[in-house]
Amino acid sequence: MALPGLSAERPRCGTCLQKPAIWQHAHAWMDYSYPCNTLIARWKFAQQPALAAHFARWMRQDPQVINLLETADVLIPIPLSPQRMRERGYNPAAQLARHLSPEQYLPHCLQRTRHTTAQSDLTRAQRLRNLRHAFAVADAQRHRITDRHVLLIDDVMTTGATLTAASHCLLQAGARQIDVLCMARTP
C-alpha cells in the first residue's frame, strides 16, 4: 500500500511538516493491522523465518515496490544488535531484503554500534534519543554506498525513528539518495 504522505516532497503529519523526512520516498506494502499483524509477529518473534520468502514474493507484485527495486542501486536492511540477533536467531529486515533482490542486497554495510532499548514502548522523541549514534558504516564498506541510491529495508515502520537514524548515517557515509521500503506501517 502506498503511503503518499511519506516523502520529503509531501509530508504527512504535523511533525513531518515541521521536519520533513530525510529520505526521498517511503512505501509500506500493508497496514500493520489484523490479520496481517499476527502473521508478521509470527515471522518476527515466533521463529518462522521462512515467511520472509513469501512476503517478498507478494511484495514484488506491487508496481511501486518494483519501481523502488528497479531504481535503487543497493538494498540495505536495518541491522539488529548482536544481542537482539542472538535472541531472535535471524534479522527479519535482512531476510526480506535478501528475498526481494539478492543481487542488490548488502547485508553487512550498515551496522548497529550498540544495543538499544526495544522501541515498542517508547514515544517518538524517546525513540530518536534511543537511536542516537546507534548505526555506523564501516570504513571498508563506504565505497559500496558512495554516490549510490540506497533502498533501506525494514519490517515495520511505526514513527520512522529507526529509518531516520539509519538514513542519516548512510547519507553521512556518502549515499546519494535514500528511499525506504517496509513491509508494514502501523496505522
Q: Quick one: which of 158, 156, 161, 162 has its CA closest to 181?
A: 156
Q: What is the mean pLDDT of residues 16-31?
A: 85
Q: What is the mean pLDDT of residues 68-80?
A: 97
Residues 173/137, Cβ–Cβ less than 8 Å: yes
**153: in domain:** yes
What is the value of pTM for the model shown?
A: 0.88
**100: in domain:** yes
Count structural domains, the chain: 1
**9: in domain:** no
Q: Quick one: which of 123, 128, 60 has its CA closest to 96?
A: 60
CATH code of the domain in which 112 resides: 3.40.50
**115: in domain:** yes
Q: Which domain holds residue 176?
A: 31-185
- Segment 87-103, tens digit of pLDDT: 899 999 999 999 999 99
- Segment 109-137, tens digit of pLDDT: 999 998 887 777 777 778 777 788 889 99
Share of the chain above pLDDT 70, in %: 91
